[in-house]
Amino acid sequence: MDRHLRLVRWEKYNPRPEPPDGLAGARVAYVDEILFIPVPEDSVRADGVLTGEYHAADSLHPDLFDRFAGSPAAQGLIVKPYYFYAAHFNKKQGPFTDLRLRQAVLLATDLEQVMVAGFGRKEFFRLGPEIAAPETPWYSSAGQEVYNKPDPARARQLLREAGYDGRPIRWLTTKEYPYNYNMALSFKDQLEKVGFKVDLQVMDWATLVRRRSDPNEYDVFITNHATFLNPVRQVYLDASWPGWWVSERKDRVHRQLMAEFDLTKQKQLVEELQRIQWEELPNIKCGEAFGLIGLRKEVQNFANYPKWFFWNVWLG
């Protein structure tokens, strides 16, 4: 308990007068102090909530959900919306500068298998082409005509048309995030069945982040992106971000979206942006996965948001 971040209520703070509304409005510090305690092992965090050592724990593995089912003192909260997971192609150089090979990856892959491999329990993920969750104002089903429509025969044909020569696809992955490695394994199995050769290169996350910034170092990597934010904030829309999605169509819509304040028009632009994404395939959005929080039942008025907070919360 000697390693923690301690936050103490400041008595001079005056909350805003409006009623609480999500992240807006009044923020009242009801509890005297909050300790944030680093606990690397998520099963230990979960057990700590169940035994009363901790009041809350986040980033728990879905397999721990059942531990809370029969508990009279704690509950497991599924955090939805959360993050979508995508396989990003190196489009600056290498085989995936050819759109046909990116399309072949999509057609070779059953994305539900990928998500099951990464997250296991089906109540912890959902499939769909959307880059903004259904709970947000920017949701669109654009791209559903091509999303998760595996066609291995067509994938093999595209490999032939693109002149794929059997060169190993350098796929960066890490076991620091088990979903990342397990999803990569599912991709590898499915892609090799249609004729790709996949070289999984396993490393720590810091090395992966460094290497993905060098177009000489890789062909594909997986990472996640928030589904609860306005899609204008997605980092991969910047052509300088790893993957290097260079597209005049994308840039035009992105600029319009950044300047648009009308929510109806924003949604129209997001739909257009999403359609472009599925046509140009800078990445393959596999699915959206949800988080798991363990919470003691004496924690009152907790708002189950993707970015949790403890103002307006008290112990009862």
Let me know: does 223 contact 85? Beta carbons within 8 Å. yes
pLDDT at 23: 87
pLDDT at 217: 97
Q: Is residue 81 reached through a cis peptide bond, with omega within 30 degrees of 0 on the bond before it?
A: yes
- Given pLDDT bands bounded at 50, 70 and 90, which one contains residue 2? low
Instruction: Give the residue-averaged pLDDT of 30-46.
Output: 94
Number of other residues whose CB lies within 10 A of the CB of residue 35: 11
**Prediction pTM value:** 0.92
**CATH T-level assignment (fold) for domain 81-285:** Dipeptide-binding Protein; domain 3 (3.10.105)
Instruction: Give the residue-averaged pLDDT of 124-137.
Output: 97
Q: Where are the domains of the chain?
A: 5-79+291-315, 81-285
Q: Over the range 126-154, which residues count as b (16 or more CB within 10 Å of their CB) and which as e?
A: bbbbbbbbeebebbbebbeeebbebebeb
Instruction: Give the residue-averaged pLDDT of 24-31.
Output: 94
Query: Kind of pairing, strands 283-296 and 56-57?
Result: antiparallel
Please state which CATH number belongs to domain 5-79+291-315: 3.40.190.10
Q: Residue 190: left (phi > 0), alpha (psi -120 to 50), or beta?
A: alpha
Q: What is the pLDDT of residues 258-281, one digit of tens each?
A: 999 999 999 999 999 999 999 999
End-to-end distance of the chain based on CA atoms, in angstroms? 24
CA atoms of 42 and 295, how far apart (whole Å) = 14
Q: What is the pLDDT of residues 177-236, one digit of tens each?
A: 999 999 999 999 999 999 999 999 999 999 999 999 999 999 999 999 999 999 999 999
The tokens describing 205, both together, are 């996350």
Percent of the chain with pLDDT over 70: 99
